[in-house]
């Protein structure tokens, strides 16, 4: 039985009109065990909905009363019903999930053509749902295209979702292995100046990929995969000369590749493989005067059949809300910087 909209003891289909153009909706949920997760610790999920939508959300028992402007209470109703449905299907809800669902409901209200199909990714450890319309498009693209570019600022989930898709494909038997790669270029450092053997030199550059993997798969499966080659994490230079078949291949931080490196990587794609390339064209750490392979590839491959390019923006940042404000501040500064102030 699905949650129902109620007013008092009478089940109704819509809202109850109150004074000054304000509406009240009362939602009753049929599984009390899920309500603590739906409402959040100390009702923090309801508080976030109140803040974002400008409504009041008052819980009482298995019911929530939503009070405010009609459009806002309707958005709140759709958000809570969607979150409750996810809980019933075994998903976990946190503040990020609530924020994402608000974005999706608002986007669908303004763009009815936005597809409503299920694009969720099921891994061994969790079910990942999109938290923005762009994430939805990205997740759909990874299901339908052999090569996908995801470009945009940090915090939008480009790498995390790509690793999730790779882990799900491996678990489903669609591929035989996962290959995760990054160019070993960070803020001007070079491997030769770092201590340790090759693994010790490159591991810090690849740590975000390890972190995402451990979030998707049990630690024992990750360890086994790294040992038997089912999961390979390697710097970009190790890809030269290979043809990668039945693999899910991810190139992260691709803005730090040269055009030659990017061409080399893209041409590794073999039969029954998928490839995802992620990066932020505004965060290039290559030496001055060296073109970014990501920027070059996006220009050259624009419109090529079988290739999808999903562009993320600050509006898609799903980390702490402060990250969004930080990115926006830097972008404002970049756009206002006079040419003579730049190097």
- Mapping DSSP onto H, E and C, the string for the chain reads CCCEEEECCEECCCCEECHHHEEEEEEECCCHHHHHHHHCHHHHHHHHHHHHHCCEEEEECCEEEEEEEHHHHHHHHHHHHHHHHHHHCCCCCCHHHHHHHHHHHHHHHHCCCCCCCCCCEECCCCEECCCCHHHHHHHHHHHHCCEEEEECCCCCCHHHHHHHHHHHHHHCCCCCEEEEEECCCECCECHHHCCCCHHHHHHHHHHHHHHHHHHHCCHHHHHHHHHHCCEEEEEHHHHCCCCECCEEEEECCHHHCCHHHHHHHHCCECCCCEEEEEECCCCCCCCCCCCCHHHHHHHHCCCCCCEEEEECCHHHCCCCHHHHHHHHHHHHHHHHCCHHHCC
Q: Which residues pair with 269 in a beta bridge?
A: 244
d(CA 252, CA 162): 9
d(CA 263, CA 99): 38
Comma-separated ranges of CATH 3.30.1370.10 domains in the chain:
4-110
pLDDT in tens, the chain (343 residues): 444 454 333 333 344 555 566 889 999 998 889 999 999 999 999 999 999 999 999 999 899 999 999 999 999 999 999 999 989 988 888 888 898 889 888 887 776 555 556 788 988 888 888 888 899 999 999 999 999 999 999 889 999 999 999 999 999 999 999 999 988 765 444 545 555 555 566 677 778 888 899 999 999 999 999 999 999 988 888 888 888 999 999 999 999 999 999 999 999 999 999 999 999 999 998 888 899 999 999 999 999 999 999 999 888 887 666 766 787 788 778 777 644 444 3
d(CA 107, CA 102): 9
Residue 255, Cβ density class (10 Å: 0-12 exposed, 13-18 middle, ≥19 buried) = buried
Q: Which position has the token pair 């299907």?
A: 89
Comma-separated ranges of CATH 3.40.50.300 domains in the chain:
121-341
Task: Report residue 137: phi and psi, to 5°.
Answer: -65, -40
Whats the size of the chain, residue-wise?
A: 343
> What pTM does this model have?
0.75
Distance of CA 60 to CAs 13, 16, 28, Å? 20, 18, 10
Q: Which pLDDT value is given to residue 321?
A: 63
Q: Which CATH superfamily is domain 121-341 in?
A: P-loop containing nucleotide triphosphate hydrolases (3.40.50.300)
**Cβ-based neighbour number of residue 231 at 10 Å:** 23
**Cβ-based neighbour number of residue 214 at 10 Å:** 15
Q: Which pLDDT value is given to residue 114?
A: 57
d(CA 312, CA 329): 17
CA angle 29, 35, 41 (to 5 degrees): 150
d(CA 296, CA 298): 6
Cβ-Cβ contacts under 8 Å for 56 (sequence gap 6 or more) = 50, 65, 66, 67, 68
d(CA 176, CA 218): 18
Cα 245 to the chain's mean position, in Å?
Answer: 26
CATH 3.30.1370.10 fits 4-110, yes or no: yes
Using DSSP bridges, classify how beta strands 4-7 and 22-28 pair: parallel, antiparallel or unpaired.
Answer: antiparallel
């Amino acid at each position: 039985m699905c949650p129902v909209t109620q007013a008092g003891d009478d089940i109704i289909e819509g809202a109850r009109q109150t004074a000054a153009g304000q509406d009240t909706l009362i939602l009753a949920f049929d599984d009390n065990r899920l309500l603590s997760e739906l409402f959040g610790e100390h009702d923090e999920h309801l508080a976030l909905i109140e803040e974002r939508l400008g409504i009041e959300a008052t819980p009482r028992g298995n019911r929530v009363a939503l009070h405010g402007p009609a459009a806002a209470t309707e958005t709140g109703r759709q958000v809570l019903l969607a979150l409750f449905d996810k809980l019933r299907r075994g998903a976990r809800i946190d503040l990020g999930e609530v924020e994402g669902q608000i974005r999706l409901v608002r986007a669908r209200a303004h763009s009815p053509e936005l597809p409503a199909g299920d694009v969720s990714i099921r891994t061994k450890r969790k079910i990942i749902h999109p938290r923005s319309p762009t994430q939805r498009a990205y997740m759909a693209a990874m299901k339908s295209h052999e090569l996908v570019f995801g470009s945009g600022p940090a915090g939008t989930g480009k790498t995390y979702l790509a690793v999730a898709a790779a882990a799900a494909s491996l678990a489903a038997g669609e591929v035989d292995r996962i290959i995760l790669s990054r160019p070993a270029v960070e803020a001007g450092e070079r491997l030769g100046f770092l201590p340790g053997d090759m693994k010790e030199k490159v591991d810090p550059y690849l740590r975000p990929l390890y972190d995402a993997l451990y979030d998707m798969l049990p630690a024992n499966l990750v360890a086994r995969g790294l040992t038997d080659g089912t999961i390979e994490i390697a710097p970009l230079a190790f890809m030269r000369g290979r043809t990668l078949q039945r693999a899910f291949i991810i190139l992260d931080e691709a803005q730090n590749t040269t055009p030659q490196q990017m061409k080399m990587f893209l041409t590794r794609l073999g039969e029954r493989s998928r490839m995802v390339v992620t990066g932020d064209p505004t965060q290039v750490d290559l030496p001055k005067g060296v073109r970014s392979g990501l920027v070059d590839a996006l220009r050259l491959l624009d419109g090529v059949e079988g290739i999808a390019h999903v562009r993320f923006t600050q509006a898609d940042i799903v980390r702490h809300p402060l990250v969004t404000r930080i990115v926006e501040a830097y972008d404002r500064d970049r756009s206002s910087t006079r040419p003579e102030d730049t190097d």
